Amino acid sequence: MRFRLAFVLVFLSCVSVFVSAACKQQGDAEMRDEQDVELQEESLDTLFADGEYGLATHQDTYDVYLIRYQNGKFFKRLILNEEIFDLYNFNWDAVRTIEAESLIAIQSSSVVMDQSGTLYYLYSYRDADRGVKQLITFTVDELVECGFHEDSVFYVSDQELDEKFYSTMGSVADSCDDLP
């Protein structure tokens, strides 16, 4: 399966290259089924090129994750609900089913950056359609000092951070100690 990504923020020049490569159409359903079997047998590092994004799930969940492969590391972020999935014009046929162990092994990323450069920590749970956001008042460099990987920060549209998807947590993260 291939995917289509109209990701709002990963700086448009990078996104346009990704979208054009990712929008390849699949053949008939039988061909897609054969490809699914092949993809499950491949290791994760052969599924994504450096700097690429993808969509993945495993057979025991309805959750879909945005997977990022950057500088030899994988990161995943839960796509909270179908409305957010559609917000980015993702294609359901692009969601790759991978082994549960492979998906679980990918480092989760809860830190996102909005279009203005503001950082948030997102709290969300499996099978939940809403989450909670916590404002982070320090920089990505300071975040790295807290033990976060700089490539784990995902860029999101301001629409995704709307209160209908993520309610605002009362406390603000002014230091590493304020994050989970």
The larger pLDDT score, comparing residue 36 to residue 136, is at 136
Q: Are 24 and 3 in contact (CB under 8 A)?
A: no
More confident residue, 127 or 64: 64
pLDDT in tens, 112-155: 999 999 999 999 876 778 999 999 999 999 999 988 998 999 99
Express each pLDDT in 81-92 by its tens digit: 999 999 999 999
Q: Other CB atoms closer than 10 Å to residue 48's CB: what's the count?
A: 17
pLDDT of residue 14: 31
Q: Residue 66 has what pLDDT?
A: 94
pTM as predicted = 0.71
CA distance 83 to 61: 18
Burial of residue 157, with CB atoms counted within 10 A of its CB: 0-12 exposed, 13-18 middle, 19 or more buried:
middle
pLDDT confidence bin for 38, thresholds 50/70/90: very low
Kindly report the length of the chain. Answer: 180
What's the confidence (pLDDT) of residue 5?
A: 28
